Amino acid sequence: MAAISREEVAHLARLSRLAVTDKELDTFAGQLDVILQAVARVGEVAAADIPPTSHSVPLTNVLRDDVVIPCLSPQDVLAGAPDPQDGRFRVPRILEEEA
């Protein structure tokens, strides 16, 4: 027995405001039926003895350790700025707010 009928697909198309032809209704009904049957098969799995998991395989932290390395000084960084001000980058105002 089909999990979804042609009439149900037509109803869903109307609710979604989709214009579909009779041929498309037949095609979509068959496709949705296959999808719904696959989902139903997944639901049939005997999972009482399987603990819930967020991943199928165990995960470990794959990030590297934080290592402090030398970096540019604020003066070196601002040396390339066209118009630094008070130790900061000066940029054009984008909001009409008072300073």
Residue 35 has pLDDT above 70, yes or no: yes
Q: Which domain holds residue 17?
A: 6-43
Q: What is the pTM of this model?
A: 0.46
pLDDT in tens, 50-76: 777 778 788 787 788 889 999 999 999
pLDDT at 93: 81
Q: Are 4 and 40 in contact, with CB atoms under 8 Å apart?
A: no
Q: Is residue 66 part of a domain?
A: no
Measured CA to CA in angstroms, residue 97 lies from 88, 89, 94 at distances of: 19, 19, 9
The enclosing domain of 24 has a CATH number of 1.10.20
Q: Are 1 and 29 in contact (CB under 8 A)?
A: no
- Residue 88 is assigned to a structural domain of this protein: no
Task: Give the sign of the dihedral formed by CA 31, CA 34, CA 37, CA 43.
Answer: negative
22 occurs within a structural domain? yes
Please give the pLDDT value at position 49: 78
What number is the average pLDDT over the span 15-34? 93
The total number of structural domains that make up the chain: 1
